[in-house]
Structure 1
Amino acid sequence: MRIERTELADVVMLVPEPFRDERGLFTRTFDAREFDAHLGREGAAAAFVQDSQSRSRRGVIRGLHGRGGRGEAKLVRCARGAVHDVLVDIRPGSPTFGARQGFRLDDEHFHHLYVPPGFLHGFQALTEVADVCYRIDRPHDPAEDLGVAYDDPDLAIDWPLPAGIVSARDAQAGSWAQLRATLAPAH
Structure 2
Amino acid sequence: MRIEKTDLADVLVLIPQPSRDDRGLFTRTFDAEIFDDYLGREGTSASFIQDSQSRTVKGVVRGMHGRSGRGEAKLVRCANGAVHDVLVDIRKESPTFGSTQTFLLDDRDFCHLYVPPGFLHGFQALTATADVCYRIDRPHDPSEDLGVAYNDPDLGITWPTTVTFVSQRDATAPSWRALLKHLP
CA deviations on 1:42-88 (whole Å, 9 max, x unpaired) are: 11101001000000000000000000000000000000000000000
Task: Give 2:12's aligned residue.
Answer: 12
Task: Give 2:100's aligned residue.
Answer: 100
CA distance in 2, matches of 1:19, 1:131: 21
Shift of 1:149: 0.2
Shift of 1:93: 1.1
CA distance in 1, matches of 2:38, 2:183: 29
Residue 79 of structure 1 aligns to a residue in which SS?
Answer: strand
Task: Give 2:172's aligned residue.
Answer: 172
Task: Give 1:123's aligned residue.
Answer: 123
Residue 169 of structure 2 aligns to a residue in which SS?
Answer: helix
Shift of 1:181: 2.0
What 5-or-longer segments of structure 1 have no aligned partner?
none
Matched, 1:45 2:45: yes
* 2:172 maps to amino acid: Q
* 1:22 maps to amino acid: D
Task: Give 1:141's aligned residue.
Answer: 141
What 5-or-longer segments of structure 2 have no aligned partner?
none
Normalised by the length of structure 2, the TM-score is: 0.99
* Number of aligned positions between the proteins: 184
Task: Give 2:22's aligned residue.
Answer: 22
Task: Give 1:68's aligned residue.
Answer: 68
How large is the Cα RMSD of the aligned pairs? 0.7
Shift of 1:40: 1.4
Task: Give 2:152's aligned residue.
Answer: 152
Residue 33 of structure 1 aligns to a residue in which SS?
Answer: helix
What percent of counterpart residues are identical?
72
CA distance in 1, matches of 2:76, 2:69: 21
Matched, 1:78 2:78: yes
CA distance in 1, matches of 2:108, 2:126: 13
Normalised by the length of structure 1, the TM-score is: 0.97
CA distance in 2, matches of 1:40, 1:146: 30
CA deviations on 1:96-145 (whole Å, 9 max, x unpaired) are: 00000000000000001000000000000000000000000000000000
CA distance in 2, matches of 1:153, 1:23: 47
